[in-house]
Amino acid sequence: MGVVIERDEWALTPLGCPLLSAASLAAVLLLPYFSPPSHAAGAVNSSPSPFDVGSTPFLRFRRAFLFVFSLASVAEGIHSVFGEDEFARCGLVREQMAARLAAAAAATLFLGGASGVVSDKLGPQHACIFYWMLQLAVGAFKSFSGLRCAWINNLISALASSMFSFCFETWIVVEHEKQGQKQELLFDSFWLMTFFESMSLVGSQGITNLLVNDDDKGFLLPYAFAALLSIVGILYLRKNASSTTQHASVIGSYKKSFFAHVFRDNRILILVLAQASIHFSMSAFWFLWAPTIVVDGRDAQLSLIYPCLLASRMFGSVSFPWFYGSAAPFRNEDSLTIAYITAGAALSIVAYDYQEIGTLVILFCIFHACVGFILPSLARLRTMYLPNELRGGMMSFSLGLAHAAIFIFLMQGAYHQNIANSTILGLAACGLLVAGGCIHLLRRWRKHTWQNTRSL
């Protein structure tokens, strides 16, 4: 008598992603009606929409910036949407995948740090052009199936992703200062960047599914489309890039300034640690979430869970403006501390005991909602404590710490298989909890919170 093995498949509730998206939309539309009058003070346009607050030149720039930033996010998503499946199509086993990812992390550790300094010296627009050139190279190589599995693709893509983290943020900050806008408008730009990035990543999944074709045809349309987006970004920036290098020597020697403002300021070191911890936890999550979600033996539609996670991140980003300002229930450091502790607790539950898939999805959504809130909050604190001339170097330094940890755990965990996945998630959770405690220390400088270091 034969044994029949029934296939148990877990399906995400159809209302999950629409409810999160509706909550995000409601948070955006209702924000102007619950904000204090000072939130829109000095605005030329009296529109209730947060997208229309500010002077006309700045509004024109921010709309163009968000469009270019969304294109960059779509290109990032196209290169990462396949994930482990792309390595499997190339015939790579677990150890080979880990070796390639570890090599990419090592390359980013050394080259990524230098890219931040170069960005500060040459200016953010030129750094964005270089970022688009890297994306164009990766898209061109991967467009041909014979070159898709080349080592160089992983190295260039990792370097581009590292620059994506700081070059666009530096660009919006520099342009904001050039036009003399109020800081509240800059803080709005930070959460709008996180919101549009999450929305673009969801769109990149749909674009990839629409353009994906048979590998035997030799030409891969999704990567060709990413290369086309890179060309559009380069042309726009070449047309609108400033010919001046305003970061070349604004505050004297870059090295002396970096040591004075970063290594000798405990507040900046706290932000470095906080940025490194959230980046490491995000990387560890995306490496391990797929095997974790199906650990109980049931199948799950990961392609449906992915948009739900990004919708949670969107909801977290639109929650950011509700928790700062004079009418906010907590100060920014307090809200950020709660977000770090919540994210760390969610990952620690996953690391301690694997639960039902539904429970894991809820925990992962909580984690991504916290990430969506943390990213613009850290950008806000960097603006308050750090000179803009050092932003790229400081962020690349914090990312370098995260990539060093990623390299070690990829080699020891995935390649040599000496560290369990639960241990890696547990260490990521501990890092988030420690970062939350460090952010709590910023309350000792509460009287300096609203001061800008450029005016000291």
Q: DSSP state, 2?
A: P
Please give the chain's pLDDT, 456 residues, in tens: 444 445 567 878 777 788 888 888 888 877 777 665 544 444 444 444 556 666 677 788 888 899 999 999 999 988 877 666 677 777 777 777 778 888 888 888 877 777 888 888 888 888 899 999 999 999 888 888 777 778 888 888 888 888 888 889 989 998 888 877 777 788 888 999 999 999 999 888 888 888 876 655 667 888 889 999 999 999 988 887 654 444 444 445 777 888 888 888 888 889 999 999 999 999 889 888 877 887 666 778 888 888 899 999 999 999 888 887 655 666 667 888 999 999 999 999 988 766 788 888 899 999 999 999 999 999 998 888 888 888 888 888 898 889 888 888 887 766 667 788 888 899 999 999 999 998 888 776 655 444 444 444
Q: At residue 196, what is the residue type?
A: F
Which pTM value belongs to this model?
Answer: 0.88
Closest CA to 284 of 384, 407, 415: 407
Work out the end-to-end distance of the chain between its first and last CA atoms, rounded to an integer number of angstroms.
83
* pLDDT on residue 253: 77
- Check if the beta carbon of residue 407 is closer than 8 Å to that of residue 222: no
Closest CA to 274 of 167, 404, 371: 371
- Check if the beta carbon of residue 212 is closer than 8 Å to that of residue 222: yes
Residues 355 and 36: their CA atoms lie apart, in Å, by 42
3-class state of residue 7 by DSSP: coil
SS (H, E, C) 254-275: HHHHHHHHHHCCHHHHHHHHHH
What residue ranges define each of the domains in the chain, with the CATH number in brackets?
A: 54-455 (1.20.1250.20)
Q: Is 142 exposed, middle or buried (0-12, 13-18, 19+ CB in 10 A)?
A: buried
Residues 392 and 366: their CA atoms lie apart, in Å, by 29
Q: At residue 362, what is the residue type?
A: I
* pLDDT on residue 3: 47
Under 8 Å CB-to-CB from 117, ≥6 apart: which residues?
A: 254, 392, 393, 396
> In this structure, are strands 9-10 and 299-300 parallel, antiparallel, or unpaired?
parallel
Q: For the chain, what's the residue count?
A: 456
Q: Residues 352, 353, 354, 356: what is their CA dihedral angle, to the nearest 10 degrees?
A: -130
3-class state of residue 226 by DSSP: helix
* pLDDT on residue 132: 93
Residues 394 and 340: their CA atoms lie apart, in Å, by 20
* pLDDT on residue 73: 93
* pLDDT on residue 5: 45
3-class state of residue 352 by DSSP: helix
Q: At residue 33, what is the residue type?
A: Y
Q: Enumerate the H helices of 250-390 as residue ranges.
A: 254-258, 266-293, 302-319, 332-352, 357-385
